[in-house]
Each structure stands twice: as C-alpha cells, then as structure tokens.
C-alpha cells in the first residue's frame, strides 16, 4: 500500500477534516518506522465482540490434514452483525481469520526455500501494509508479538451467547480507532477493488 495511493481508498462519508486526519495517520504508519498506536485498552472487559478483536479461542479446520486446532484469530464480522442484541431470523456466524506470529511466517518462508533477501523485502512490505491479503499486527507488549492475519483464509463458527462468553474469556486485543480504520482499509482493498480491469458488460 503506497502512501501516494492511500487517499483514493479512504471512506467518502468522512468530513474533509476527518479524512485528512485519517490520511495523515495512515501515511504515518506507512512512512515511519514507528508502528503507531493501533490498540486500545478502554474496551477491556466489555461483553461485546468487536470487529477487529483478536481472540484466542477460535477453531480452525485444516482440510488437508483433517484436523481441528484452536488458535488465535481476528474477527472480520461487523460488530452489529454479530451482536446478540439484534433479532435474526437465522443464527449468525462469526467470520474470522488466523493470526500467525511473524516469526512463524518467516520460518515458513525459509522452509519453502525463499532467499533471505527476498524474505527481508517481503517482510518490509508486510510491515508497511502493502500486501493486500495480509493484515500486519505490530507487537502489543505483554499480549501479542508481531503477527500477521491472512485475509484469504477465513473461517466461521456459530454465534451464540455461550460462544461469545467463551471467546471473551481470552481477548488478546481490541483495535483503536486508527487500528480499526486501518483494518477496514485493508479489507476494502482486498475484497472490493473497483478497478479490477475486467469488462463485465451484459452484451
């Protein structure tokens, strides 16, 4: 994600002042070595699962091995969509993607035979949020090390009061306003790029 290209992806509903502030924040994250503050502790202890929450108790099914493992994941579902306070005709599902430590990801790249210089270049791009399918998570001291979220490996599980209660027993982090906007930016670019270069006329 290049700094010069960010502005065209910003939400259009923001005021000019808010849009400039968000652009400056995102550009700071991209341009500076400082990882900026992407987390908040103000929502610790809340009984709501928020979009962008990092939770430790998600189930992942690995089809190739036929295994089910419990590991951390990042919530992709909209907060309102999975709120238990909203009436639904059918039970909702929580969408989430795996959180993998950056060190494990680097180990995987090395095992796959990628040369060191290419790994270093790729990881630099990951940290700068330039890889559209990967959401980079900086270290949150005492809670999580540098990690990545793979947006192309989405899982889902049934939502219920029991599930919510169990997941919230081990909430790793909640994103700040800036972190949340950054996630929405990455999701928007990954899933909804208008300029895909495909002509879809009906005739």
Residues 6+ apart with CB under 8 A from 92: 77, 81, 82, 159
CATH of domain 14-191: 2.30.30.110
pLDDT tens-digit series, residues 70-106: 999 999 999 988 888 877 788 889 999 999 999 999 9
Q: How many CA atoms lie within 13 A of 9 on its CB side?
A: 23
Domain boundary assignment for the chain: 14-191
Residue in this structure with the two tokens 């990801």, named with its chain if needed: 105
Least confident interval from 7-11, 20-24, 50-54, 143-147:
7-11
Quote the percentage of the chain above a pLDDT of 70.
Answer: 79
Which phi and psi (to 5°) does residue 27 adopt?
-65, -35
Structure tokens that stand for 69 in this block: 């493992």
CA 178 to CA 34: how far, in whole Å?
14
pLDDT band of residue 39 (cuts 50, 70, 90) is very high
pLDDT of residue 104: 96
Indicate if the pLDDT at residue 140 is higher than 60.
Answer: yes
Q: Are 22 and 143 in contact (CB under 8 A)?
A: no
CA 98 to CA 76: how far, in whole Å?
11
Provide the whole-model pTM.
0.79
SS3 109: helix
CA 1 to CA 186: how far, in whole Å?
9
pLDDT of residue 1: 47
């Amino acid at each position: 994600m290049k700094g010069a290209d960010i502005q065209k992806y910003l939400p259009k509903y923001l005021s000019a002042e808010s849009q400039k502030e968000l652009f400056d924040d995102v550009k700071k994250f991209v341009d500076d070595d400082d990882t900026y503050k992407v987390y908040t502790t103000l929502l610790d202890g809340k009984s709501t699962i928020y979009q962008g929450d990092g939770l430790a108790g998600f189930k992942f099914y690995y089809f190739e091995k036929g295994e089910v493992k419990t590991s951390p994941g990042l919530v992709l579902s909209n907060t309102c969509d999975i709120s238990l306070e909203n009436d639904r005709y059918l039970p909702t599902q929580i969408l989430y993607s795996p959180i993998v430590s950056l060190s494990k990801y680097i180990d995987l790249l090395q095992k796959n035979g990628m040369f060191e210089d290419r790994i270093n270049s790729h990881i630099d791009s990951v940290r700068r949020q330039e890889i559209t399918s990967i959401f980079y998570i900086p270290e949150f001291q005492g809670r999580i090390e540098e990690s990545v979220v793979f947006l192309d490996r989405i899982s889902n599980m049934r939502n219920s009061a029991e599930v919510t209660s169990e997941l919230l027993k081990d909430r790793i982090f909640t994103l700040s306003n800036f972190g949340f906007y950054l996630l929405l930016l990455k999701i928007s670019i990954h899933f909804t790029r208008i300029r895909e270069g495909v002509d879809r006329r009906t005739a």
